[in-house]
Structure 1
Amino acid sequence: MSLDRTSSVSAGWTLLAVCTAALILPLSFSGGALATPSIGLDLGAGPLALTWITNAFMLSFGSLLMAAGTLADRYGRKRMFVSGVGVFVLASLALGLAPNIVWLDGLRALQGVGAAAALAGGSAALANTFEGRSQIKAFSLLGTSFGVGLALGPILAGVLIEHIGWRAVFVSGALIGVLALLMAIPMMHESKDPHASKLDAKGTVSFTATLVLFTWGILLVPSTGWNSAPVIGMLLGALVCVLMFVRIERRVTRPMLDLSLFRYPRFVGVQLLPVATCFCFVVLLVLLPVRLIGIEGRSATDTGLLMIALSAPMLIVPYLAGVLTHWASARVLSAAGLLIAAAGLLLLSRVGINQPTLEWVVPLLVIGIGTGLPWGLMDGLSVSVVPKERAGMATGIFGTTRVAGEGISLAIVSALLAVLIQRHLPSQSAGAAQYLATGDLSQATGVAQGLEQAVLGAAYLQAFQVLLYGLAALTVAVALLILWFLRQATPVAVAELSEATSDCEAIVNAKCKT
């Protein structure tokens, strides 16, 4: 695309606005996790309600991502971006005033709606504004923005929580969003796709219902058990909804998800990569602050600083992964990275309660470095393992798998941790396990019927160690499956594709090519 001076200025401001908005998405994720113990103490919420602080955001974000992309193409990329950031800002400001946990969880879901619209609209606007190498550089900068937010979000959230309060975390996100709007509204050009398809409303509703019912059912397990009517009802409802979704997608002319792509073994293998990174990395962004603040009593600032060891490698390693493809295949690098992350999880399992900070740094760095290798190659692999004409839909599926998978993995791991804690406590004190899993040690002590905090801490540590063993085993298993599914050469050189390593690239390609 040849840009005159006016359009060059507009393109620059568009990129800056979208990158600014991208900072608040990881901040909202990690900030909500860091704030959970403080929110529990302030609002007096129960364990199930506290788990929805993060899950509500991730579920609405992941389930609406592709629908937002369709609306952006149909009604305008700028309009969708501005509307999404606007909803995010209003929801964030309202979170700063939330009177109780019910309002807070609902507003977090609304935040996720805004995040989906902002990401889909902003990334589609970049795809329309830039072409060729300029587009690759634009999305590389966008990926860097996500990395900066992921790396610095915990420390910013920690400082705000400790010195101002947990509400300041959400208000700070709103202020960054306002800055993005001030750049986007006057400078971003509007663009649409005249051939954009209509919103697959039935597919969107059935897909969202599947995720919500499944997640809700899993989160109910620690309190009601697998055999309870609510759990069975939720999981059966999720099964019915997913079957409806498959039937809908097979019948519509332009489906939201082209299920025929799952006939490609290599495509299936690529979908396993975000599953592995969710369980070996993303869940730790939530579990570790809960443990460090709620169980071990560390300050929010110290916890934020410690979390940098886990997230900072994401600023460098994904780029290095692209460079390393000149000497090793993406298949081998991705599998090797997962094995390194699994080793880091085993090292982390050896860290006891109230250990010095240095005991944490090495395991967290190893996990971050290992995860960074497949993280930097996944987007390129998602388009390289299918025929070129199917690349758009392939990246759309991958993006949804990645974001929605984070919400599902959080629900599974949170419920599993509570169940494991129950097994290490006397039967009469099982109710304390749910509070321990959400980092509420004081409430756990109150319902533990005389058990000392040291005993509760020991039960938590044992359960946490078993959980890490399971996550490490799962990560190793996926690494081996990746080696199997991706054993054939890919038709596109991944080295050329891996430069744009942001989550947004998957969504953009899907929407600008359909």
Structure 2
Amino acid sequence: MVAVIQTEETRRDPRRWWALGALVASMLVLGFDMTILNVALPTMAEQLGATTGEQQWMADAYVVVFAALMLPAGLLGDRFGRRRMLIAGLVVFLAGSLLGALAGDVNVVIAARAVMGVGAALITPLAMSVLPSLFTPDEQGKAIGLVSTGSALGLPLGPIIGGWLLDHFWWGSVFLINVPMVAIGITACVLLLPETRDPASPRVDTLSTAFTVGGLGALIYAIIEAPDRGWGDPLLLAVFAGAAVLITGLVLRSRRVPRPMLDMTLLARRGFLLNTVAATLVMFVLSGLMFVLPPYLQAVLGNDTLGTGVRMLPMVLGLSVAAKLAPPVATRFGARATVSAGLVVLAFAALLGSRTTTVSGYGFTALWLTIAGLGFGFALVPSMTGALATLPRDRAGSGSGLLMTLRQVGSAIGIALLGSLLANVFRDRLDVTGLPAPAAHTAGDSVVAAHLIAQKTGSAHLAASANGAYVHGMGVVLLVCGVAALVSALLAAAFLPNTPVTRRTEREQAPAVAAPAGDAGQ
């Protein structure tokens, strides 16, 4: 009883909104760190000599580790204290950021991004799971919406922040910007967040964690390496088979243990499952788009890094408007209609963008980017809120970890699969006639590399061919994104629950999980 009273006192504490602000800032940092590197990749490719595959790994190392470790991270917070593990995650993220800022080699950058992924895996599910201990049921929807919006807004803000930094500082500054933001987050967590845990939470299963990390890592590795090795390469086929075996092993083990790390019972909740699938598909499309767009704006249209970031502002504006309007629209018309409409808008934007040519100019790009931002906001925010609202309080950490894991899996596969598709199309369309074999191979690595070879050889034809090949590849990627969004819209319209989640009472919302850690055993 004491635990409930203390929880209610915490919920009435006006400092809870300051704590929420710190959580939103943390999620904003994680969001733009998923994309801030994208605008830096052309610069880093030139200065570090990174191939397209290495650029994909610099982007994906963060996302893969992020996705693979979120399930055990959520359980660590449930078991050992959410505030404690959240602070630990912020410290690890800070260490990875410092390593990245000081790196001078592609492999060190990839390692730094992986360390940052470990920190992000701890931060994300725990930032969500502490909300029930801070806010009453009437406030939780708003709080979840704000945290989700912070995460979503960080994605398109990344290239803008990265562009400004690269225009004024060296490329390592895209890592260094995290330091003050994370320091503020750590301070706020220490001073403002109550400690909560779920003593009944299952232990972190080492074998399940190994299955998750190995399966996802193998899958993403095979997708990224396929353009260079070929999809029929025996090694890659073996890696794909290994990934399938490991992921199957995870599912089978989760069905056998009493309190599994991958809680299959949560996936049996129709509202959680379908909203999670919708959010995952949105992230697949968004991550692919954010990977292919900066090289187009920078290499093809000739903008500098800051100009590239600024030219992605229409997406931020569209997303900001939609994030503000989505909750009341979902309340008025239902989640099914809102999410489906957002996906249709997103599909239209991607299909419109696929019509881009080398002479389209930025005005056309700004138009479909604005529409894409609106679609993202209307699809992502209600689906995230709907999924999290179905979670029982005693599964807050593991449930939000599962949701975020699947979201990041969507992001990682989006970058890997769509990036590989772009690399294949670009290489096939690029005309390297007359170039020596080594130069031709280098030019096929990326549009940035092709422009560098064109400058060295004085070949205007190669530069024009590179622009045409890249725009064609981007159009193919956007076409795939549009079809994926349209199929997702049809699935959401057919299966997504349309009725709002019944608001739970205070008695139902206050099990021991909400108790401060010191009272957990009382």
TM-score, normalising length: structure 1:
0.87
Q: Distance in 2 between matches of 1:379 and 1:238?
A: 27
Structure 2 unaligned spans of 5+: 1-6, 505-510, 516-522
Q: Tell me the CA shift for residue 70 of structure 1.
A: 0.7
| Cross-structure match for 2:462 | 452
SS of 1:226's partner is coil
- Tell me if the contact between 1:323 and 1:495 (Cα under 8 Å) persists in the aligned partners: no
Which of 485, 495, 500 is the matching residue for 1:485? Answer: 495
| Cross-structure match for 1:108 | 113
- Tell me if the contact between 2:129 and 2:397 (Cα under 8 Å) persists in the aligned partners: no
Q: Tell me the CA shift for residue 385 of structure 1.
A: 7.7
Q: Distance in 2 between matches of 1:337 and 1:178?
A: 35
Most deviating of 83-92 and 114-123: 114-123
Change (3 A) 1:299 1:98: same
Q: Distance in 2 between matches of 1:264 and 1:274?
A: 16
Amino acid across the alignment from 1:305: V
Q: Distance in 1 between matches of 2:466 and 2:217?
A: 31
| Cross-structure match for 2:190 | 185
1:381 aligns with 2:386: yes
1:245 aligns with 2:255: no
Which of 314, 322, 329 is the matching residue for 1:317? Answer: 322
Which of 26, 34, 44 is the matching residue for 1:21? Answer: 26
Change (3 A) 1:267 1:12: closer
Amino acid across the alignment from 1:404: V
SS of 1:227's partner is coil
Amino acid across the alignment from 1:246: V
| Cross-structure match for 1:404 | 409
Change (3 A) 1:131 1:496: closer
Which of 141, 145, 159 is the matching residue for 1:140? Answer: 145
Amino acid across the alignment from 1:482: A
Which of 345, 368, 374 is the matching residue for 1:369? Answer: 374
Sequence identity (%): 27
Q: Distance in 2 between matches of 1:424 and 1:78?
A: 52
1:466-489: per-residue Cα shift (whole Å, max 9, x none)?
222222122212222222223xx5
1:428-456: per-residue Cα shift (whole Å, max 9, x none)?
7884575226x433356499997621012
Q: Tell me the CA shift for residue 199 of structure 1.
A: 0.6
Q: Distance in 2 between matches of 1:262 and 1:9?
A: 35
| Cross-structure match for 2:477 | 467
Which of 67, 75, 87 is the matching residue for 1:70? Answer: 75
- Tell me if the contact between 1:419 and 1:433 (Cα under 8 Å) persists in the aligned partners: no
SS of 1:2's partner is helix
| Cross-structure match for 2:65 | 60
| Cross-structure match for 1:3 | 9
Q: Distance in 2 between matches of 1:496 and 1:2?
A: 17
Change (3 A) 1:447 1:415: farther
Q: Distance in 2 between matches of 1:246 and 1:404?
A: 16
Q: Distance in 1 between matches of 2:311 and 2:356?
A: 14
Alignment of 1:191-340 (within 5 A): 191-260=196-265, 262=267, 269-340=274-345
Amino acid across the alignment from 1:139: I
Q: Distance in 1 between matches of 2:16 and 2:386?
A: 28
Q: Tell me the CA shift for residue 89 of structure 1.
A: 1.0
Which of 65, 84, 88 is the matching residue for 1:83? Answer: 88
Q: Distance in 1 between matches of 2:81 and 2:315?
A: 38
Q: Tell me the CA shift for residue 268 of structure 1.
A: 5.0
- Tell me if the contact between 2:196 and 2:514 (Cα under 8 Å) persists in the aligned partners: no
Structure 1 unaligned spans of 5+: 498-508
CA RMSD of aligned residues (A): 3.2
| Cross-structure match for 1:440 | 449
Amino acid across the alignment from 1:74: R
Change (3 A) 1:144 1:97: same
List 4+ stretches of structure 1 deviating above 4 A: 260-268, 383-396, 426-430, 443-451, 494-497
Q: Tell me the CA shift for residue 350 of structure 1.
A: 2.4
| Aligned positions, number | 496
Q: Tell me the CA shift for residue 319 of structure 1.
A: 3.5
Q: Tell me the CA shift for residue 311 of structure 1.
A: 2.5
Q: Tell me the CA shift for residue 422 of structure 1.
A: 2.9
1:276-325: per-residue Cα shift (whole Å, max 9, x none)?
31243232122111221234331111111111111332223134222223
Change (3 A) 1:495 1:42: farther
| Cross-structure match for 1:476 | 486
Q: Tell me the CA shift for residue 4 of structure 1.
A: 7.1
SS of 2:262's partner is coil
- Tell me if the contact between 2:319 and 2:375 (Cα under 8 Å) persists in the aligned partners: no
Amino acid across the alignment from 1:441: A
